Amino acid sequence: MDNAHNLDRERFAAVLALMHRIRAFEEAAIAAQKDGLVLGAIHPSIGQEAVAAGVCGNLQPADLMLSTHRGHGHTLAKGADPLAMMRELFGRAGGTCGGKGGSMHIADFGVGMLGANGVVGANIPIATGAAHGLKLQGSNQIVACIFGDGAINRGPFLEGLNWARVFDLPVMFVCEDNGFSATTRTHDMTGGAGASARAESLGIPAVEVDGNDVLAVDAAARTAIADIRAGKGPMLLHCRTYRITGHTAVDPATYRPAEEVEAQRGNCPINRLGTALALAGMDKAELQEVHERAVQEMDGIAAQAQATDWPDPLAAFTDVQDMGDPRERAF
């Protein structure tokens, strides 16, 4: 963060608040899971908040986004209501998907969030299809598609990027590279140079950036989004980051050396932006207040979610596709 002294303090104070809110949301969700209030897996993005904040902060409200099973931060950064998100995790009425999707399948079409996805890489062709639809409509909207480094070894990555290039679609692919595909180091199972090289082999411009430096992510995303919106076709942003937690909230991550994790804690994107804001004149009391406000907000939201009623049992029969009796259609 060499340009910290020239920082737009007001703008990046808001970015810092967003990153604190993302982390506080996930910490509240993890605590709730330990109390038995959240069933199913939670995949935290603690340590990766700069990607969500840096990318989504440059999207317009009408732009679309797709995410992964590790999508709380992206969804919150795109503008979703954290109470509706927490209710979704708790399986309660008023959740973003009526309490039916849970952590890995949050969607909120009202803010352009077309959905998290529990299938690695499956969001890539969906995003490409959405971008193709926007192009056919002559829209000025774009699609941001965020996926992990493990997704680049799956077929949908090649299919989606090739499709996007052939038709010059308005989509920004974002590889949120935390170095691990679940519990395996990605470089141990990835041939070649990785996401950027593979994108460039298909004729898609790619930019690599320090994914723990929100200033760098913000600048790269802003340039890429402007170019895509100007009709220059798809681009890929490769953000190298690190998740502090295990693959899931209950994963002790014993496959990683403790000293490695501790070193990465010192590379925390929240702390790095806080340091930059301090250099720009923000005092420690202000920085602490931003953190405390986020924790209070999300603890309160978790309490509200717990107090929310369960969905009406009849809601189980809604959102179900009914094609009718096949005999009536056939004859």
* Residues 12-59 pLDDT 10s: 999 999 999 999 999 999 999 999 999 889 999 999 999 999 999 999
CA distance 62 to 174: 18
Q: Is the pLDDT of residue 182 over 70?
A: yes
292-302: per-residue pLDDT in tens?
Answer: 999 999 999 99
Q: Which residue has the higher pLDDT, 316 or 70?
A: 70
pLDDT-derived band at 6 (thresholds 50, 70, 90) equals confident
- Average pLDDT of the chain is 94
Reported pTM: 0.93
Q: Which helix (H) or strand (E) holds 73?
A: helix 72-77
Residues 104-108: what's their mean pLDDT?
94
How far are the Cα atoms of 88, 108, 305 from residue 309, in angstroms, in the given order? 12, 20, 9
pLDDT-derived band at 317 (thresholds 50, 70, 90) equals confident
Q: Is the pLDDT of residue 277 over 60?
A: yes
CA distance 305 to 301: 6
Residues 59-73: what's their mean pLDDT?
97
Could you tell me which of 125, 148, 127 has the C-alpha nearest to residue 65? 127
Q: Is the pLDDT of residue 328 over 70?
A: no
